[in-house]
Amino acid sequence: MAYHWTIATILRASRVGEKDKRLVLFSRELGKVTATVHGAAMPDARWSTAFEPFSLLYLRLYDRSHYLTVVSAEERIVYAAIISSLSRSLKAMALNQLLECVLEPRSEEPELFAAYVSALSHLNLSMTTEDEDRTFLQCTLDVLAYLGFGMSSLHCERCGVTLEDQVYFSLRENAFHCATCAAPETDVLLSPDLTTFLKAGEGPLTERQILAGIAVTLRLLRSTADRLSITQSFEQFAQSATALFHIDEAKQAKESCHEL
C-alpha cells in the first residue's frame, strides 16, 4: 500500500454505479493509469465537476495492489475555452482517444505528457480553426515520434535514399518515396513547407497544407497501429479524426503528382 502525488490529465471519465467515477488518467509520474473517485458522480459532490477531461489536476492517489483511488485533488488548470467550444473539444477528445490507445499502462512518458499538455494549452488559446488544426497536427507528430516513427529524417521506403527535396507520399503504401521511386498514379508530391513541418514541427503552413499533413499523419498512424497490433483500439480515434477533418482515407488521388 502506498500514496502517490502526481500531476495528471483526464483522458476519459465514466460513471461506476450511482456514486462513483472511473478515470483514465495520463499522469506525468505514473503514465496511463485508471483510478476510482468515490462519490464524484453525486450531483452535490464536492468534486462533481472537477473530474472531467480538459483539466490539469494535482492528485493524491491511494495505491492498494495497483488499484488506485483518488484521495484528494487540486485543480491546477481548467481549459475552459476547450470545454466551451464544440470544435476544440471534439479535437481534444480525439487526441485523448489516440493517447489512450497508444500509451502503455504505468509507463512514464514525461516528454509525451509535456507535448500533450502543450497541445491542450494551444487548443485552449486558439483563435482560429487553422490554429486548432495546426495544434492537432503537431500532437499527432509527437505521438508518431513517441511510437518510434518520427519524421525528423525521411528516407525513401524503396531505395533508402535520404529525402531532402521532392518528397512524395504514397497513398497506396502509406510511405515516403523519392522522385525516382514515386508512382505517378498513387504518389503525391509534398510541398517544401509541409515537408519542413513534418520533419521539424516548424514553419508556415496554409490551411490546405495543414489538412494535408493531418491526412498524412492519420495514414501513418493507421499503419503504425497495424504494426503494433492495436488496430481495434485505434479505430475509434480513426473514425473520430476522419469525420472531424472530412478525410476519406479510401479515396485515391485523381491527379498524378499533385502537390500538397
- Domain covering 81-244 assigned CATH 1.20.1440.120 in the classification: yes
- Which element (helix H / strand E) includes 222? helix 207-228
pLDDT tens for each residue of 132-154: 999 999 999 999 999 999 898 99
2-78 belongs to which homologous superfamily?
Nucleic acid-binding proteins (2.40.50.140)
Residue 122 has pLDDT above 70, yes or no: yes
Whole-angstrom Cα distance, residue 117 to residue 123? 10
Whole-angstrom Cα distance, residue 32 to residue 144? 17
% of the chain residues with pLDDT over 90? 70
pTM for the whole structure: 0.90
Could you give the residue range(s) of every CATH 2.40.50.140 domain in the chain?
Answer: 2-78
Could you give the residue range(s) of every CATH 1.20.1440.120 domain in the chain?
Answer: 81-244
β-pair type (168-170, 175-177)? antiparallel
